[in-house]
Each structure stands twice: as structure tokens, then as C-alpha cells.
Amino acid sequence: MLRWMRAPGIFKIFFPSFVWRYNSGAKKVYLTFDDGPIPESTLWTLNLLKEKNIKATFFCVGDNVHKYPELYQNILTDGHAVGNHTYNHLKGWSVDTQRYIENVIMASDLIDSKLFRPPYGLIKNSQAKHLLPEYKIIMWDVLSGDFRKDITPEQCLRDVLKKVRPGSIISFHNHQKTKANMQYAVPRLIDELKLQGYEFDVCR
């Protein structure tokens, strides 16, 4: 399932109104964590971000917010940004537009945000059209590959470092399956990017 999360470059041509990267020219990066909040990973992430004194953006699944409201509250209390990632982590291409939009609205009862990220990066034109007046659709230009079983944590880190440039939106996950790669790569990535003079900001 997780392998579908790569967004081919061609999507950028079809969806120019989505945010793929921030082009302000500032030497900033935007760390994002999808699919939480979950106890196995989100608390660890929050502690790390606190220790490194940086902010990030969490694209939350409504059902997880419903299950772990305290964790969700912790994200907000720590000053991070949140975004809507549907209620049931729906794959846009596999469901009709009405069901998709209803699922986003259901999540919006729990997640107060005007940011949206489609699960798997897959969304139909008709679904995007419905959401765009309300939401800023935030994609990424650096997909960490933390969900890949065929790479080592070291390679995950190397791949991200190779792709990062000013304004990059970097995608990681708060998911059980991505824990090993993510927990190795993110702290080292933060340290290295700080050394290179990058600042960390939240999506908006």
C-alpha cells in the first residue's frame, strides 16, 4: 500500500495549484509527518522536535485524532502546524468524489486546518476542484522513502540529503512501518541541515 505514495513528477504539471515547494528564496525547509498521531511514533517525534527546537507540520488522519486526542493536542500545544489527511486515509483514485469530500469534512470536525494532503499523493481532478477553494493542498518535493522496505536507514538519510534544496517540503511518516528509517534519518537530517544553515518552518 505504502509504495503508492511516490508522486511522479508528471503530477506537478497537472496540478500546478498544489504547493510542491516554497519558492520564497529563503534557506528554509519544511518537515512534514503524515498518518499520525499514533503512540508508537508521534510522541517520539514531538520529543525530538522539542530537543532540536524546531517546528514541523503533521498531516493527521481523522480516525487517529479520534483515537488519540491527547497526542493530537500535544502537537498543537508544542506549536506545530497540522493538516487534514482525510478521516480514513482514503486513496482518492479508488473512491468517488462525494465520498472523498465527505471523508475530508469528517476529518475537519477534528482537525482545524486549511491545509490538506491527499493520502498516497493520489487525488482526482474532481476531488481537488472541490477542495481547492477551502484548502491549500500541500504536496512535497522530497519524499523520504521512510516507508520503503528495500532501503536501509542510512540510505534513507542519504537520499533525502541529496534532494533537499531551499524551500523543500520533506515528507516523512508517523507510521509503525516507517519507524526504523524515520527514527534514524530525521535527527541526523536536522543536525546536518542546521550545519548547512537551513531554518525549519511550518507549512502555511
Which residues of the shown chain bind Zn ion in the complex (CB under 5 A)?
34-35, 119
The answer to whether 31 and 57 have CB atoms below 8 angstroms apart is yes
The DSSP call for residue 26 is: S
User: Active-site residue 173, yes or no?
Assistant: yes
Cβ neighbour number for residue 90 with a 10 Å cutoff: 23
Instruction: Compare residues 7 and 54 and give the one whose CB is closer to Zn ion.
Output: 7
Beta carbons of 175 and 153 less than 8 angstroms apart? no
Considering 34, 35, 141, 159, which one is annotated as catalytic? 34
Min. distance of Cβ 23 from Zn ion in angstroms?
25
Q: How far is the CB of 175 from Zn ion (least distance, A)?
A: 8
The minimum distance between CB 136 and Zn ion, in angstroms, equals: 17
Q: Give per-residue burial for 20-46: e unless 16+ CB within 10 Å, then b.
A: bbbeeeeeebbbbbbbbbbeebbbebb
Nearest distance from C-beta of residue 89 to Zn ion, angstroms? 6
Cβ atoms of 181 and 153 closer than 8 Å:
yes
- Could you count the other beta carbons within 10 Å of the beta carbon of residue 55? 15
Please state the closest distance from residue 44 (CB atom) to Zn ion, in A.
18
Q: Is 85 in the active site?
A: no
Q: Report which residue type is found at 34.
A: D
The total of other beta-carbon atoms located within 10 Å of residue 12's CB is 14
| Closer Cβ to Zn ion, 168 or 171, answer by number | 171
Is residue 62 within a helix (H) or strand (E), and if so which, with residue range? Answer: helix 62-67
Of 146, 173, 175, 201, the catalytic one is 173
Positions annotated as catalytic residues are 34, 173
